[in-house]
Amino acid sequence: MTSQRVLTGEHFINGDEACTEGALAAGCNFFAGYPITPATEVAEAMSRRLPKLDGTYVQMEDEIASIAAVLGAAWGGAKSMTSTSGPGFSLMMENIGLGVITETPCVVVNIQRGGPSTGLPTTCGQGDIMQARWGSHGHYEIIAISPSSPQEMFDFTIRAFNLAETFRIPVLIMADEVVGHTLERVTIPPAEKIKVVNRKKPSKPPEKYLPYKTDSSLIPVLPDAGDGYKIHMTGLTHDERGYPVPDAQTQEVLITRLINKIRNNRDAIIDYEKHFLDGAKIIIVTYGSSVRPALKAMRDLRDDGLKVGLLKLNTIWPFAEDLIRKLAKKVKAFVVPEVNFGQIALEVERCASGQALTKLIHHAGGGIHTPQQITNAVQKILPEIGSKRKRK
Amino acid sequence: MKPKASKKTARRSAAKHPPEKHPKDELLRKDRIPHIWCPGCGIGSAFSSCITALKKTGINYDRLAVVSGIGCTGRVAGYLNLDSFHTTHGRAIPFATGLKLAKPEMNVFVFSGEGDLFSIGGNHFLHAARKNINISVICVNNMNYGMTGGQVSANTPTGARTSTTPYGNSEVPLNLPSLAAACGAVYVARWLSLDVRRLAESILEALLKPGFSFVEVLAPCPTAFGRRNRLGSALDMIKLYQKNSVIKNGVHPDETVIEEGKKMVLGKFIDTERPTFLERLAKTSELKSTAWPKKEVAEQR
Amino acid sequence: MKMWRKPLDLGEKLLPPAEIHIIESRCKGCGLCVEFCPRGVLKMSDKFNRKGYHPPVVEESTACVGCHFCEEVCPEFAIFCDHSYDL
């Protein structure tokens, strides 16, 4: 096994392994996980690669311990990651909340599968999207990324680490079993071409330093354990010193800052790809493994003369509200194929505010849509939006 | 009233310790003192012993980190002037594991309560001890969930009253030293919160010892547990514990069970050596063939 | 202090007393220092500190040998001994 961190070159690997390679290219040096289909390959690849790179791989006793160890390692200065699927994701929720309130950078990968409960362990699902947003108790904002191919698993994992280090928050990678298990060509560029962001460290001496006092970016600059600052981190609502203060005023100040830290910076976080949106009357909004059949469906519908465009969401949280609101004024309908019974569709509908029809193409899980299913669904809504099916 | 001292000694004393500065203040977050614990709470004495031990280790305070959980004992992290982490309920040990493995040069210890470490956190204790992660775990056992008002926990004695066992506890408590030893801890000791010197010595030994060390501290909880079981004030309770305990160093941990009619056994029970998690990990390449069970053993009569 | 073996120079050597400092504002009146001082140096006072507790006072200052037990057992870091000579 190589001790080279960035395996520059062409590879034929699946999405899980590509995710591992992306993490390593971003500087990941700590992984704590627990086996769960379909995310196990991420852990297995990490267990092979990390020891040769002087990193630490440890298999913990459950997912709760995994996310705890990941946060603990991040406090010590490591770039840490864990990977799981639905059942483990549910277990991790409490500690993800701790990561949010202590503002700890780390990456959590969820290779979604059919749910709820044990569900369909070996096949696709996209049912955890809302859970990624609201899964932990209390009100907070989160960053979630949705790769749609093994190449994007590599690229987006690097971005996830960079976002975590910049915004000091756990970043969720919401992949799914199809993306995770697809074997495809992945191109890994030379290490010099990969942009890696590291967390800022405090410049003030300990006596003059307040851990959670921020500038206008609202992002704190926190030291690592052992840097000599003797910080106190707690899950209790805390003030600028990091000490617990149990009152409404402190809560207002802290939670407002945590929420605005993401909301105010959403332009730097939100990422999407536009396909033929100009002049489109119908826009397919899609993410994850639903992207490929949707792209084919879009091409087929356009060949048929329909003005159909596609919006590929590369980040799902924060949601691209501003863009949807803008597009809703120009289009007749949004069509949302997703492997659930309507999660991003709800967001699209909310932002469309009735100005455009929002049509969900659901899938209960266990696979993904076929392009035909998507084209049929679009054809069906044409009468509703007063569009006649044109023929070339 | 302060005793009348000669001018010379008064000047010398004032120079060494200006009036309101306690010798342990350097490890306390002074702006958080007085702490939230009740008068006479055993956690306070255990905390005091811990500070004595920390000073005696000679370790640079920047290299020490404490991780705690939720509960009265878990508040220790907020009062210790070290890198301190007050984490979620029951999970202090895996947080400490992550920190220690990412930064092995730090000396990481866990200071938390028995409900936090052994009820909700039991699984994590088991595996960290099994792996022999090089951390020390100091567990204050006040036999109930104190902070939430005194509910029954995995260490409540049989028959005791708590807010959720108003007719008496029908369950049997854990035997913590036995559990720790069975899971593979290399150092196991138990003292009363009153035994401040022996406790400080045990904590010191635990902190300096490589591997997973465990120190249990039996502490009175007068406000919750003591009140419901009519055990009196903190002073009454600790005197009762003192009378009902006996020191038996080196005894087998199975004999340290807490039950009716038996004195509580205190002492240092286990002090042994095993390779730590990281030591074993470093020697992975030297592991012999993994075919197990071995054929020649299976073929033995 | 009961000694079962008497030092030969017991009559000649005298232990100078240590000074006891009490940070009254921290005390919560638990009484552990008073109860467990091996020389009976302290007693609970009748005065109140600002939190309404009775802090201890030194009753018999010459009896203190500077064993630091009160300092170690106090849960509030409210009492400590200071030696007027270097040990």
Residue B293's pLDDT band (cuts 50, 70, 90): low
User: Do you know the residue count of chain A?
Assistant: 392
Residue percentage of chain B with pLDDT more than 90: 84
How far is the alpha carbon of B62 from chain C, nearest alpha carbon, in Å?
22
> Per-residue confidence at C64, pLDDT binned at 50, 70, 90?
confident
Query: Is C66 part of a structural domain of the chain?
Result: yes
Q: What pLDDT does B287 receive?
A: 73
pLDDT at residue C61, rounded to an integer: 77
Nearest residue in C to B27, CA atom: C77
Name the amino acid, one letter, at B214: F
B69, B81 in Cβ contact below 8 A? no
pLDDT value at residue B18: 52
Residues of chain A with pLDDT below 70 are 1, 387-392
- Candidate from B86, B94, B126 with C-beta closest to A234: B86
ipTM: 0.90
Contact B39 C74 (CB under 8 A): no
Q: Which residues does A contribute to its contact with B (CB < 8 Å)?
A: 29-30, 32, 51, 56, 58, 60-62, 64-66, 68-78, 80, 94-95, 98, 224-236, 243-244
CA–CA separation, A195 and A193 (whole Å)? 6
| Domain A9-193, CATH among 2.30.110.10, 3.40.630.30, 1.10.600.10, 3.40.50.970 | 3.40.50.970
Question: What number does CATH give the domain A274-381?
Answer: 3.40.50.920
Tell me which chains share at least 3 CB pairs under 8 Å with chain A.
B
Does the residue C5 lie in any domain? no
Inter-chain contact B127–A231, Cβ cutoff 8 Å? no
Q: What's the pLDDT score for residue B21?
A: 87
Kindly report, residue by residue over C22-57, the tens digit of the pLDDT.
Answer: 999 999 999 999 999 999 999 999 999 999 999 999
Q: Which of B240, B249, B243 is nearest to B270 (CA)?
A: B249
Domain-located, residue C75:
yes
Q: Give CA separation, B169 vs A166, B280, C38, in Å.
A: 51, 42, 37
Question: What pLDDT, in 10s, does the model give residues B139-193?
Answer: 999 999 999 999 999 999 999 999 999 999 999 999 999 999 999 999 999 999 9
Q: Residue B240: count other Cβ atoms within 10 Å of its Cβ.
A: 14
Give the per-residue pLDDT at B187: 98
Q: Give the helix/strand (H/E) hosting A179.
A: helix A177-181
For residue C5, what pLDDT band results from cuts at 50, 70 and 90? confident
Asked, for residue C9, whether it belongs to a domain, the answer is no
**B256 near B191, Cβ under 8 Å?**
no
Residue C6 is assigned to a structural domain of this protein: no
pLDDT digits (tens, 9 = 90+) for B97-135: 999 999 999 999 999 999 999 999 999 999 999 999 999
Count the helix, strand and coil residues of chain A and give each as a percent rounded to the nearest 5: 40, 20, 40
Give the pLDDT mean for B13-37.
80
How many structural domains is chain C composed of?
1
Quick one: pLDDT at residue C87? Answer: 47
Instruction: Name chain C contacts of B221, Cβ cutoff 8 Å.
Output: none
Chain C 41-80, CB below 8 Å of chain B: which residues? 51, 53, 57-58, 61-62, 64, 69, 71-78, 80
pLDDT digit string, tens, across residues B265-285:
999 999 999 999 999 998 887
**Tens digit of each residue's pLDDT (9 = 90 or more) over A57-93:** 999 999 999 999 999 999 999 999 999 999 999 999 9
Name the class of domain B27-275: alpha beta
Same fold yes or no, A9-193 and A274-381: yes
Of B67, B94, B102, the CB nearest to A65: B94
Res C10 pLDDT > 80: no
What pLDDT is attached to residue A392?
44
Domain ranges for chain B: 27-275
Subunits that touch chain C (at least 3 Cβ pairs < 8 angstroms)?
Answer: B
Whether residue C68 lies inside any domain: the answer is yes
**C-beta of residue B216 within 8 angstroms of C-beta of residue B189:** yes
Best CA proximity match to A364, nearest among A340, A385, A380? A340
Contact check, Cβ <8 Å, C28/B43:
no
On whether any CB of chain B is under 8 Å from the CB of C28, the answer is yes
Query: What domain range is C37 assigned to?
Result: 30-82
Residue C85 pLDDT > 60? no
Beta bridge partners of A32: A58
Domains of chain A, residue spans: 9-193, 274-381
Instruction: Say what the pLDDT of residue C7 is.
Output: 77
Instruction: Report the CATH number that the domain containing residue C73 is assigned in CATH.
Output: 3.30.70
